[in-house]
Amino acid sequence: MKGKAKKISRRKFVVRSLLGGGGILLGTVILARNPLRRALYGVLENPKNLTYLGDISDPMLWFEIRPELPIILHSPKVEMGQGTFTGMVQLAADELEVRPDQILIKHAESASGNIDGLSTGGSTSIAGFWQPLRELSATLREMLRTEAGKKLGVATADIRLEEGVASAGLKSLPYGQIAQGVTEWEIPETPALKEIKDYKFIGKPVPRVDLEAKVMGEPIFGMDAVLPGMLYGAVVQPDKVGVVFGGAEITQAEKMPGVVKVVVEDDFVGVVANSYTEAEAAKAAIKVDWKREREWTTADIKSAIQIGKGDKMLIQKEGRPGGILEDAKDDSSLITATYSSPLGAHAQLEPNGAVASVEGGKATVILSTQVVKLTRKEVADRLGFKEEDVNIVPTYLGGGFGRRLHTPNAVHAAVLSRAVGKPVKCFLNRKEEFQKDTFRPPTQHQLSAKLSEAGSIEAIEHQFASSDVMFNAALLPGFLSTIVGSDIGTMRGGRIQYSGIPNYRAISWHCELPFATSWWRSLGLLANTFAIESFMDELAVAAGKDPIAFHLDHIADNEEGKRLKNVITAVRDLAAFRDSARDGRAMGFACSTDAGTPVAMVAEVRMEGKEIRVDKAWMAIDPGFAVNPDQVRAQCEGCIIMGISAAMYEEMRVEDSELKPIIYGPYRMAQMKHSPKEIEVEIINGTGKPGAVGEPPLGPVGAAIANAVFRLTGQRLREMPLARG
């Protein structure tokens, strides 16, 4: 790696000796490195809003060395399934000179003060930790070396560190023993980081650190948490959208078996009982007066999300696309097409829930969440507590995908716990999980282009309409939406990435819905790429060109352009791409660049009766540098399958103001039989620095399938879900 041994100031590290000198805590500050963080810290107009983001000079990454191994790494990011914990352990192990199994990575509790002020999401975790975690680990290693030298009575230079043991000649000391009794540590100048080629774990397919726990069924999720004397709570949720709580009739519920208390608040009603089934039964006996202004149907939703409605914003412009496209309209040479995507659910397997214990002015809440600090603030505000008196204990997430950026269930559990003076576990049932989701927004896309005589794109435009893709004011403090709101969210993948085209622009229309739509893995990327890449394919056909050659022709020769071209040619060769159907099968191609990571995909489809089947998929990705190639592969496979699910099958409807379906099955999702039998992934390490992995591979999935279907059947599918039942 170039530019190594960059000096970092010692002030970035904080050391705390454990009580009685039994070990050491070493922490580091993570500076606002990624663009989203910078945007948040930099663009804020009202600094008052910053309070719950915490002080960014607080250390967020901590190592804890106790007398015995493993060394504990407290993580401010949560593990949602994307392998973040494994990547972090790899980064630490190599610089610390320990094996991955000698590090135990844990979710940091908010009481430890070192939690991430923002959230886990946006495929940013490993990229953000790449430098600070390796630096912290290398620093700790050198501190241990120095102390070992003192304890063994040899020169520091003669100390050899390996697998958690310091040795010199025949003398040796394990790391835990080195740390014993030391109360004053010397923090060295930051040592040089190793060269990538010298790493034993970084860049290698190290097995996931949570593998055994997950295969043995250990109780690691929020849903599995238990506290002594715990009762079960259930909160009544509306089954209609656009309604407001107007009070409840609870006499019948109070008499139900097992009921401890029915709790009526200004904005919700809940019941606490001795068991889950008793709480659910009593909940069903509560009659709530839901106030509502109007009815909603799917047609209303569709007409709400229209280009030409809502707030218009030009998000990208090069050359003079407007004029050229106007002229083309006049002389009938304009090519246009409209695409759409439906309302989608997160449908993560673990329902949202929490275990809360509120006692003597202190609260503890154990849950799966992507927003630890925000949850703490919400619980503290509701209880009237100071934030220090609320401890949020994050757990492994049974799927995140953006669903856990909003966790009102923590507040519900805390309020119910206070009402009964005992710990309460409270979670959504599946119907509620579907109806109270913060959905993937429906979108509409209009693409227009003009081809030159020679068949290249002279001008292109992407207009798209969507509701919120981040947080709306009802969900979270309004400031988040004013900074990063719908623009960044819906925009993911919405810009034209072909800067070889002389004239292009993208326009976003932000529309309103009566319920929350929010962050769904990769945000607007899946729908935007479906539209743009389907249209690119239509243009290639109109120009009479091979789609891959057509794409390559329009990519500029800059740095991003080169990386995009590399993944395109890699997947072309990997799949041995064919532009025509053969033996009842056809291939389709699409590509996208998201969060700096270019991805290209080829899908091969066949028809089974009337059903589209994706039998094979090939993907090439350039994540910059793959810290764990096996997990990059796993993310590509997972995104391909989740993308097949969302692009082909999933759709929420609104009937009589009720969101439907309310259960898996009717909410159609990809199952084993829909999964490709073969998936090949090629990874290109294009920059030597890790970038985004968890979401970018979703981009091209929908378009690659639709383009393949066109080659097989001649039918152009412009609406998701492609296999509408």
Partner 1 sequence: MKIRLLINGRDQEIETDPQTPLLWVIRDILDLKGTKFGCGKAACGACTIHVDGQAVRSCSYPVQLAAGKAITTIEGLGTPEAPHPVQEAWIEEIVPQCGYCQPGFMMAAAALLEKTPAPTDAEIDAGITNICRCGTYYRMRKAIHRAAELKAPVLPEEAEAIAIQDNSDNS
Binding site for partner 1 (CB under 8 A): 80-83, 207-208, 210-221, 223-224, 226, 232, 275-277, 346-351, 396-401, 429-430, 630, 634, 637-642, 644-645, 663-665, 669-677, 679
Nearer to ligand FES, 99 or 430 (CB): 430
Is residue 661 close enough to count as binding ligand FES by CB under 6 A?
A: no
Smallest distance from ligand FES to CB 67, Å: 36
Lookup result for tokens 């403090």: 477
Nearest residue (CB) to ligand FES, 143 versus 662: 662
Chain centroid offset of residue 623 CA: 16
Q: Which is nearer to partner 1, 368 or 534 (CB)?
A: 368
Residue 223 touches which member of ligand FES, partner 1, none, C-beta under 5-8 Å by kind: partner 1
Is residue 5 within the footprint of ligand FES (CB under 6 A)? no
Asked if residue 392 lies in contact with residue 110, where contact means CB atoms within 8 angstroms, the answer is: yes
| Interacting partner of 316 out of partner 1, ligand FES, none (Cβ under 5 to 8 A depending on kind) | none
For the window 67-106, what string marks contact with ligand FES as x by the rule CB under 6 A?
A: --------------x-------------------------
Phi and psi of 63, rounded to 5°?
A: -105, 145
CB of 176 to partner 1, least distance (A): 24
Residue 322, binding choice from ligand FES, partner 1, none, Cβ under 5 to 8 Å by partner class = none
Between 81 and 121, name the residue whose CB sits nearer to ligand FES: 81
Q: Which does 638 bind (CB under 5 to 8 A by kind): ligand FES, partner 1, none?
A: partner 1
Q: How far is the CB of 615 from partner 1 (least distance, A)?
A: 10
In terms of CB distance, is 124 or 628 closer to partner 1?
628
Cis upstream peptide for 661 (omega within 30°): yes
Q: Is 132 in the site for ligand FES (CB under 6 A)?
A: no
Six token digits for residue 162: 């390996």
Say how far apart CA 494 and CA 551 lie, in whole Å: 17
694 binds, among ligand FES, partner 1, none (CB under 5 to 8 A by kind): none
Shortest spacing between CB 214 and ligand FES, in angstroms: 8
Contacts of 48 (CB under 8 A, 6+ apart): none
Q: Which does 251 bind (CB under 5 to 8 A by kind): ligand FES, partner 1, none?
A: none
Least distance (Å) between residue 520 CB and ligand FES: 15
Residue among 207 and 688 whose Cβ is closer to partner 1: 207
Give SS3 for 379. helix
Report angle CA 650, 655, 660 to the nearest 5 degrees: 35
Cα→Cα distances 719→284, 314, 338, Å: 38, 24, 9
Closest CA to 104 of 68, 140, 139: 68
Cβ 634 to partner 1 shortest distance, Å: 6
Q: Which does 224 bind (CB under 5 to 8 A by kind): ligand FES, partner 1, none?
A: partner 1
Joined tokens for residue 314: 């030009």
Nearer to ligand FES among residue 436 and residue 551 (C-beta): 436
CB nearer ligand FES, residue 80 or residue 457: 80
Both tokens of 135, joined, read 């630096």
CA distances from 649 to 151, 467, 524, 719 (A): 64, 21, 18, 11
The beta-strand segments (E) located in 577-646 are 586-594, 597-608, 611-621
Give the span between the Cα atoms of 485 and 489, in whole angstroms.
Answer: 6
Query: Which option in partner 1, ligand FES, none does residue 549 bind, with CB closer than 5 to 8 A by kind?
Result: none
Length of the chain equals: 725
497 vs 529: CA distance, rounded Å: 10
Rounded Cα–Cα distance for residues 701 and 619 (Å): 10
Among 349, 474, 542, 549, binds ligand FES (CB under 6 A): 349
Task: Quote the least distance from Cβ 90 to ligand FES, whole Å.
Answer: 21
Nearer Cβ to partner 1, position 284 or 337?
A: 284
Q: How far is the CB of 127 from ligand FES (least distance, A)?
A: 22
474 binds, among partner 1, ligand FES, none (CB under 5 to 8 A by kind): none
401 binds, among ligand FES, partner 1, none (CB under 5 to 8 A by kind): partner 1
Instruction: Count the residues of the shown chain that bind ligand FES, applying the rule CB under 6 A.
Output: 3
CB-CB contact of 513 with 85 (8 Å): no
E strands, 226-293, are 231-235, 243-249, 259-264, 269-273, 287-292
Strand, coil or helix: 156: helix
Ramachandran bin of 537, using left for φ above 0, alpha for ψ from -120 to 50, beta for the remaining angles: alpha
CB of 393 to partner 1, least distance (A): 16
Name which of 119 and 645 has its Cβ closer to ligand FES: 645
Query: Which parts of 421-547 are beta strand (E)?
Result: 424-427, 443-451, 457-466, 503-510
Please, what is the minimum distance in Å from the beta carbon of residue 384 to ligand FES? 37
Beta carbon nearer to partner 1, 44 or 679: 679
Residue with smaller CB distance to partner 1, 396 or 498: 396
Instruction: Indicate the residue among 38 and 214 with the shorter CB distance to partner 1.
Output: 214
What Cα–Cα distance (Å) separates residue 276 from each residue in 99, 233, 253? Answer: 42, 7, 14
By the 10 Å C-beta count (0-12 exposed, 13-18 middle, 19+ buried), 330 is classed as exposed
Distance in Å, CB of 220 to ligand FES, minimum: 12
Cβ proximity of 228 and 423 under 8 Å:
yes
Alpha helices of 384-524 — where are they, by DSSP H? 408-420, 430-435, 478-483, 485-491
222 binds ligand FES, rule: CB under 6 A: no
Least spacing, CB of residue 644 vs partner 1, in Å? 8
Q: Is 35 in the site for ligand FES (CB under 6 A)?
A: no
Q: Is the dihedral of CA 465, 469, 471, 475 positive or negative?
A: positive
399 binds ligand FES (CB under 6 A): yes
| Token code pair at residue 390 | 């609320």
Under the binding rule (CB under 6 A), the answer on residue 226 touching ligand FES is no
CA–CA separation, 348 and 401 (whole Å)? 8
Tell me whether residue 429 or residue 456 sits nearer to ligand FES (CB atom): 429
Q: Considering only CA atoms, which of 50, 45, 37 is closest in space to residue 119? A: 37
CB count, 10 Å around CB of 249? 13
673: three-class secondary structure by DSSP: helix
For residue 599, the cross-strand partners are 592, 621
CB of 708 to ligand FES, least distance (A): 26
Residue 653 interface partner, choices ligand FES, partner 1, none, CB cut-off 5-8 Å depending on type? none
Nearer residue to partner 1 within complex by CB, 376 or 668: 668
Give least dist CB 647 to ligand FES, A: 18
Q: How far is the CB of 204 from partner 1 (least distance, A)?
A: 13
Residue 669 site contact among ligand FES, partner 1, none (CB < 5 to 8 Å, cut-off depends on kind): partner 1
Please give the order of strands across the beta sheet that includes 165-168: 160-162, 165-168, 171-174
618 is in the binding site of which of partner 1, ligand FES, none (Cβ under 5 to 8 A by kind)? none
What whole-number distance in Å separates Cα of residue 347 and Cα of residue 403? 9
Selection from 614, 640, 627, 631 nearest residue 698 by Cα:
640
Helices (H) and strands (E) in the chain, counts: 19, 28
> Quick one: what does residue 237 bind among ligand FES, partner 1, none, with the CB cut-off 5 to 8 Å set by partner type?
none
Q: Which lies closer to partner 1 via its Cβ, residue 189 or residue 212?
A: 212
The binding site for ligand FES (CB under 6 A) comprises: 81, 349, 399
